[in-house]
Structure 1
């Protein structure tokens, strides 16, 4: 957080499964992360950020 470095996370039901417990954990992760100042971007946006020197 202090260095403004990205954390790359890939979410897929192949790894995490498809039941509600996994979705609840995902929602909690997103909620906690955003409450701490995280933001989520697409792969294209992350690449552009790297090219522009934003990260």
Structure 2
């Protein structure tokens, strides 16, 4: 069974643990059709356009 040679310091433990709980940054771009913020490479949820073509019919 593997046993650590030395005790991990508290700062090393916290530094490793912070990566687990760090919030994920989400990239945001602007829709060229309606100007609303959207995720890149996704259909705009406000107007339904992607790549200059209407993909979804959005009821208003």
What band does the TM-score fall into relative to the shorter chain? under 0.3
Q: Bigger radius of gyration, 1 or 2?
A: 2
TM-score after normalising by structure 1: 0.28
- Answer 1 or 2: higher relative contact order, Cα 8 Å, separation at least 6: 1
TM-score after normalising by structure 2: 0.26
Higher-strand-fraction structure: 2
